[in-house]
Amino acid sequence: MNKPVLKSIYADKVAPELKKILGVSNVHEIPTLEKLVVSSALKSDSTKEWVQDVVKEITKITGQKPVITKAKKSVANFKLREGQPTGVKVTLRGAIMWEFLYKFICIVLPSVRDFRGVSTKLDGKGNYNLGVVDHTIFPETTIDSNRKNLGLDITIVTSAETDDTGRELLRLLGMPFRKSSSSTAQTK
């Protein structure tokens, strides 16, 4: 099996650049991607058919079968019963993770209408969270007029210890971050 394109880019260009920027001598200190989690929350009144549709769609998008998360406790205020499905998630690692991120950065995001970049905000520990409102931006999905849209949360977990290091890793991998307002004010 061939090495994923984005992993080759990381090994050939990103890692040496990060090593130089961070001033580290040990290759194990260079931040890398650890895992990627794709998840979707379910409403409390979701039917079994809808849950299976969500599982099928996420399987098509990621190439890996997700797990159904269930409520651990009953909460009357949320109309939630113990054992009721609350979401669907899949954790991608290795080659599948690199291929999914490459597809997301190079194919999916550029195809979004009026796309101006993604937020530069990370979670404080070098990890990145991104919400996708409509799953039909992925090329594997089919647009059906009588089907509901599916929202997705994508979490990119890195080995970076700070937001700046994680942001630099993602920027070098090609993540299309939004330009800051100070740089746009200078160009006007």
Summarised one tens digit per residue, pLDDT across range 77-131 is 777 788 888 889 999 999 999 999 999 999 998 888 888 888 999 998 989 999 9
Phi, psi angle pair for 86, to nearest 5° = -115, -15
Q: Which tens digits make up the pLDDT trace of 162-174?
A: 999 999 999 999 9
The per-residue pLDDT for 186 is: 42
Q: Where are the alpha helices (DSSP H) in the chain?
A: 5-9, 15-22, 48-62, 94-103, 163-173, 181-187
Closest CA to 43 of 76, 88, 90, 91: 88
pTM: 0.86
Q: Would you tell me which CATH number, out of the four given (3.20.20.140, 3.50.50.60, 1.10.1040.10, 3.30.1440.10), belongs to the domain 5-176?
A: 3.30.1440.10
Distance separating alpha carbons of residues 34 and 26, to the nearest angstrom: 18
Distance separating alpha carbons of residues 39 and 162, to the nearest angstrom: 24
Of 3 and 147, which is predicted with more confidence? Answer: 3
Closest CA to 153 of 97, 62, 89: 89
- Rounded average pLDDT over 48-74: 89
